[in-house]
């Protein structure tokens, strides 16, 4: 794992910096960044997301308090909620970006999600098949706005 992050095993120093930045979506596309926040000791979770266009313009955002949930459920809930909002907005070119590598993999291999979200997840996948859709991973440091919105859910 240390090799993946370009860290020298003997010295612990980073061999080369990893670029972390938010990229613009192409013209006509909407980029949705999602994140979750969870408190391990209370078992509370939230999720948030932001919709932006190709000129970085703000299109919409959400912040949802989920009460007692795991971080994994909150991550999936945030993505599902974002795609439900995209469907309500009738978006047809969607780039979803989140800092959960697991969520990105599950979109690709179409494996199961936590059971309480399965019906909504299947509806999400059906919507994604009908539009131009891509999903990518971003490191947490590049997902600052979605992170702030997720944490805002604890106060709403």
| pLDDT score at 9 | 52
More confident residue, 86 or 15: 86
Residue 23 counted as domain residue: no
How far separated are the first and last CA of the chain, in Å rounded? 38
Query: Is there a contact between 104 and 75 (Cβ–Cβ < 8 Å)?
Result: no
Q: Is the pLDDT of residue 148 over 60?
A: yes
Q: Is 12 inside any structural domain?
A: no
Residue 55, domain CATH: 3.30.420.10
In this structure, is residue 113 part of a structural domain? yes
Model pLDDT for residues 112-130, shown as the tens digit of each residue: 788 888 999 999 999 999 9
User: Residue 10: is its pLDDT beyond 70?
Assistant: no
14-71 pLDDT, tens digit each: 555 556 677 788 899 999 999 998 887 677 899 999 999 999 899 999 999 987 778 8
Mean pLDDT over 59-87 rounds to 91
In a domain? residue 15: no
Measure the CA–CA gap between 123 and 55, rounded to whole angstroms: 29
114 domain residue, yes or no:
yes
Taking the alpha carbons of 38, 44, 45, 46 in that order, is the dihedral positive or negative? negative
What percent of the chain lies above the pLDDT cut of 90? Answer: 45
Examine residue 7 and state whether it is found in any structural domain, yes or no: no
H/E stretch holding 50 reads strand 44-52
pTM above 0.85, yes or no: no
| Averaged pLDDT of the chain | 85
Domain of residue 76, residue span: 30-155
Percent of the chain having pLDDT more than 70?
A: 85
Q: How many domains does the chain have?
A: 1
Report the alpha-carbon distance of residue 60 to residue 32 in Å, rounded.
9
């Amino acid at each position: 794992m240390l090799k993946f992050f370009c860290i020298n095993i003997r010295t612990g120093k980073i061999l080369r910096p990893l670029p972390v930045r938010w990229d613009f979506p192409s013209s006509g596309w909407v980029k949705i960044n999602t994140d979750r926040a969870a408190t391990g000791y209370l078992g509370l979770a939230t999720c948030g997301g932001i919709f932006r266009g190709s000129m970085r313009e703000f299109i919409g955002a959400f912040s949802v308090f989920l009460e007692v949930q795991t971080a994994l459920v909150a991550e999936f809930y945030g993505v599902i909620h974002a795609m439900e909002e995209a469907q309500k907005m009738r978006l047809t070119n969607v780039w979803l970006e989140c800092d959960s590598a697991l969520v990105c993999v599950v979109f690709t291999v179409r494996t199961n999600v936590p059971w309480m979200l399965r019906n909504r997840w299947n509806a999400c996948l059906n919507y994604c098949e009908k539009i131009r859709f891509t999903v990518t991973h971003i490191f947490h440091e590049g997902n600052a706005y979605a992170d702030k919105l997720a944490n805002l859910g604890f106060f709403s």
